[in-house]
Amino acid sequence: MSKFPTRISAARRNAEALLSRSKKQESTLKLEQEREHDAMVEKTARLRALRLAKEAADQQAAATKIATARPKSRRAGQK
């Protein structure tokens, strides 16, 4: 009769060890997913800032180009 409780306790220890490893892997996976998500959010914000800066520079360049464009002379079209 003494072997029966030993088997149960050994099985219980094995199950608890397996559960413990499983929980540790799950927490590691969640941490990794959070890091990947944070990196993606940071990358998206950086790319958005670069795109907005480029668009602003393009608009400024277009406004400067229009402002400095010379008007065509009237004689150019009269041949």
Reported as a single tens digit per residue, the pLDDT across 38-70 is 999 999 999 999 999 999 999 999 988 887 876
Is the predicted pLDDT of residue 71 greater than 80, yes or no?
no
Residue 16 pLDDT class (50, 70, 90 cuts): very high
Sign of CA dihedral 19, 25, 28, 32: negative
Render pLDDT for 17-30 as a digit per residue (tens, 0 to 9): 999 999 999 999 99
